[in-house]
Amino acid sequence: MDREFLTDLFADFGPVTLRRMFSGYGISADGTNFALALRAGLYFRADEQTIPQFEAEGSKPFQYQTSSKTVTVNSYWQLPARLFDDVEELAVWARSALGAAQRAALRKRPRKRAAAGKSTTPAKKAAAKKSAGKKAAARKAAAKPSKAQKGRVKRKGSP
């Protein structure tokens, strides 16, 4: 699948961004990757809400071979071949895939971290205290004059 073909295929869906990825393209909309176009076919992002739709069509999840095993990626499922001839329905499936990708992104958002210096477990508190002690010792050592500096006493009128 080339860029022009993919751009035409998603015309009813709306503007998409294509980026080189693996042996094909990553396809995104609004900054969210929702499809993969690879040598083996076109794969849409899926989740617990959309996987039954793919299963009903007889689609399979994305798989690839390593030297020792077959890896199955359940978050991307192959688009049914019949949709290549029906761009309007493909756009509906693409919107569902984008929704699945957005839901996945929401689940991945990082939790708020504890405020700086406020560790929650005793082990974290001890580690923070130890680290703070080392930093204080380093500052103190940096402020002390060295032995070479102690030997030099500035006298009035001398350089």
Residue 13 CA, distance from chain mean position: 24
Q: What is the pTM of this model?
A: 0.66
Domain boundaries, the chain: 3-108
pLDDT of 2: 87
Percent of the chain predicted with pLDDT > 90: 60
Please name the CATH architecture into which domain 3-108 falls.
Answer: 2-Layer Sandwich (3.30)
Cα-Cα-Cα-Cα torsion 124, 128, 133, 135, nearest 10 degrees, comes to 150
pLDDT given for residue 108 in this prediction: 79
Instruction: Decide: 76 and 43 in contact? Cβ < 8 Å.
Output: yes
Confidence of residue 59 (pLDDT cuts 50, 70, 90): very high
Segment 73-124, tens digit of pLDDT: 999 999 999 999 999 999 999 999 999 999 999 887 666 665 555 546 666 6
